[in-house]
Amino acid sequence: MFFYKLQYVGIVLIPVFLLLFSISYTREEKWATPSRIFVLFIVPVITLILVFTTEMHYLFHEVIYIKTTGPLFGLYFEPGIYYWFYQFYLIILVVFCIVIFFKTYFSNRSFFGIHLLLLIICSLLPFSIYLLYLAGIFPEGFDPIPFAFTLTMIMIYIGIFRYRLLDITPLARSFLFENMPSGFIVLDGKGRIVDVNQFVEKYMDLGAKDIGKPASEVSGYWHELLDLELNDNDMKNIVLKKSLGGTTFWFAVNVSILCNEHGDFHGKMIVLDNITDKKLTDDILSIQHDLSIEMGTRSDLISTLNSLVEHLVTIEAIDSGGIYLVGDNGDLDMIVHNGLSPEFVAQSSHYDKDSLNAKIVRDGKAAYIKYSDMLSGNLINSMSEDFLSEGLKSMTAIPIHFEGKAIACMSLSSHTYNEIPEQTRNGLESIASFAGEYIARAKIQDMMNRQKTDLENLFNSMDDLFFVLDESGNIISTNKSARLKLGYSEEEFSSMKVTDVHPEESIDQVISVVKELLCGKIDSCSIPLVSKDGTHIPVETRVTVGKWNGQKVMFGISRDVSERQKFEQDIIDAKNKAEEANRIKSEFLANMSHELRTPLNSIIGFSQLLHSDPFDNLTAKEIGYSQNIASSGKHLLDLINDILDLSKIESGEMELECEKFNLTTFICEVEEVMKHLASKKNIEIHNKTRSESIEVHADRLRMKQILYNLLSNSLKFTPENGCI
């Protein structure tokens, strides 16, 4: 009984240790946690306790006895309920071990198949005998299991010393073959697939099912690799580009010849390295380098943006897109585009500040949209419809900042990639980080160019002649008016000095004036210009000092004053002619007045003589007629004197002859003359100076003319029956 019980120390521990060995050998350590190992030993410990106390209960053995009859005699027993429980537990552990060995065998049988096959046989042999023993196949009292273990130990001995069973485990192969970042395909001398690792299974439709088949007959085998197999030499770093599952990959392929120890050809090993990340990174770095150089040479905004988008669409996974500029109010306007249809551009050329696209730019973070997002409706329906109708499968919107403010946005897309790769994303964001400075500079330069163009248009629209001179007097630039009026082309002006457009006799004056202008002593001059054909053009020139393309210059604006001088001369000539005509008129009037006054005095004298009737032979009527002749003569004489006086005033020869006379008598004389005219309108004239005696010193004739004029106006504007 003691030795019977003692054998169970080995019996209960064999399945547990076999399981731990299989886990360790196949490196499935993830199953062998401390808590699980502890649980594994619970049943064996309980079993040992029940076995060594079997006389006290009926759980493990219901009956134990010694049988002395028959060919085989010894210790017999009837199993109890726990006995069958433990047998079930043992079977489960052994089956699990065998499954682990089989799993490892099918995934690693090319190099370690003999090892794993040996372990499977060594596990199955005693286990099968044990199952037959439990089934009652063998004679009663005969236990074949020790014989099975003996055979198993012989096989393990052979495996250890012949096949070096324990020198290397599948872990080494797993680490060096399965888990390497490279793919391995081993072909034998006849081109049959001997082995592949998990890398190859991931990227090619190859697996354990294809081992032993000719590579040319396997559908998942790349035809590019078949072409390489035709070469019997080693080939290094051959790059293949493959599109797998909507994504493009680059692989570096190395083909090595496998020979035996005698140098005989034994097969080939094809090594595949996924260099997609490196390829994308190198391409993006190269594009960034080229882009930074090219954008640095562009001076206007449109060419800068075109350069940017042309480089962007050459990046892997990007084949179309556009550049938007952010307006002052937050709107987005597409300025340049590449690879997009006119219909799509028309639909997406402008986004209001409240749109989703404008919001993405304001948020300042790059947005990446996948094909699945479009299909799942995570986007706005109209936007999804636009993208899908264009055939886009992925897109991105990356804001471009300058000095912390979004100034533009890169809207890029792909017609082939369902998702933009991570390396491409990093490259695009890196480009966006430095593109802002170039775009901002181009916008400033563009604004300056527009201002310069507007300024040139302004200068060219001027009738005045515009010159830009350096400090040495060289002509740097001119406007259209200067070129037309002086007859020189822009190229001719560029090789001329300011002295070349002035008369030779004025060169010294021009040099002196230029020095004074530079010193700020004067700001204008009136030196005439000379055209190409020698015509002198009188001008008035105003000059200011400023900057032109970064250098100190003088801006001269010359106004052609030839028309004005001609107009002024015409005015002077007209004035001289008018003065001459006036002089002649005055002389004529003066002469005529003297010529008329002589006969008129005679008429007045004779009429006065008739009025005195020296011979007393005139009737009263005739005397009245003579009075009228004398009065009319005197009036005509006064008119002639007025004309003469007017001519004297205009000629500046008017002189006053002052004398003393009695004002009262003088006014009465004027009153007597005017009464005749006042009586016609029944107007009364009241003289308030009759009772006074006033003496004045004045020109009697001029004063009488003044009073006559005043009273004549009074009579003219006083109504009938009025009073003066």
Residue 408: the pLDDT is: 92
Q: What digits encode the pLDDT tens for the residues 668-692?
A: 877 877 777 788 788 888 888 776 7
Q: Which residues contact 282 (CB under 8 A, 6 or more apart)?
A: none
Determine whether domain 462-554 maps to CATH 3.10.20.30.
no
pLDDT tens-digit series, residues 374-415: 666 554 444 556 676 778 888 889 999 988 888 899 999 888
Q: Residue 216: what pLDDT?
A: 83
The lowest-confidence range among 139-153, 174-188, 320-334, 525-539 is 174-188
Predicted confidence at residue 723, as pLDDT, reads 92
**The pLDDT value given to residue 49:** 93
The DSSP code for 5 is: H
- Within 10 angstroms of residue 694's Cβ, the number of other Cβ atoms is 12
Q: Which amino acid is residue 260, in one-letter code?
A: N
Backbone dihedral angles phi then psi of residue 662, each to the nearest 5 degrees = -85, 125
Q: What is the pLDDT of residues 111-129, one digit of tens each?
A: 456 777 788 888 888 888 8
Structure tokens at 26: 């196949």
What was the pLDDT predicted at 380? 47
- What confidence score (pLDDT) does residue 177 get? 62
Rounded CA gap, 449 and 696, in Å?
A: 84
Report which of residues 66 and 34 the model is more confident about.
34
The confidence score (pLDDT) of residue 338 equals: 92
Q: Which residue has the tokens 């040139």?
A: 456
pLDDT digits (tens, 9 = 90+) for 338-382: 998 888 888 888 888 888 888 888 888 888 887 666 666 554 444
Question: Residues 409, 350: contact at Cβ < 8 Å?
Answer: no
The CB-based long-range contact list for 605-610 (8 Å cut-off, 24+ gap) reads 607/633
What SS3 class is residue 164? coil
Query: What residue ranges of the chain are covered by domains with CATH 3.30.450.40?
Result: 298-451
Pick the CATH number of 298-451 from 3.30.450.40, 3.30.750.200, 3.30.110.70, 3.40.50.150: 3.30.450.40
How much is the mean pLDDT over the chain?
81
Instruction: Name the pLDDT band for 322 (thresholds 50, 70, 90).
Output: very high
In 3-state terms, what secondary structure has residue 516?
helix
DSSP 214: B
- How many angstroms separate the first and last alpha carbons of the chain? 180
- Domain limits, CATH 3.30.450.20, in the chain: 173-279, 462-554
Give tens-digit pLDDT for 562-583: 887 788 888 888 888 887 877 7
| Per-residue model confidence as pLDDT tens digits over 473-523 | 888 888 888 888 889 988 888 889 888 888 888 888 888 887 887 777 777
Please state, for a pLDDT cut of 70, what percent of the chain lies above it. 88
**pTM of this structure:** 0.47
pLDDT number for residue 334: 92
Class of residue 470 by CB neighbours under 10 A (exposed 0-12, middle 13-18, buried 19+): middle
- Please check whether residue 476 is in contact with residue 470, taking contact to mean a CB–CB distance below 8 angstroms: yes
At 637, which amino acid appears? L
Give mean pLDDT, residues 256-265: 78
All residues at 6 or more sequence positions from 104 whose CB lies less than 8 Å from its CB, including other chains: 26, 112, 116, 170
Residue range 173-279, CATH number: 3.30.450.20
Write the single-letter amino acid at 313. V
C-alpha gyration radius of the chain: 64
Say if residues 304 and 442 touch (Cβ distance below 8 Å). Answer: yes
How far, CA to CA in Å, does 585 sit from each of 261, 577, 582, 644? 142, 12, 5, 11
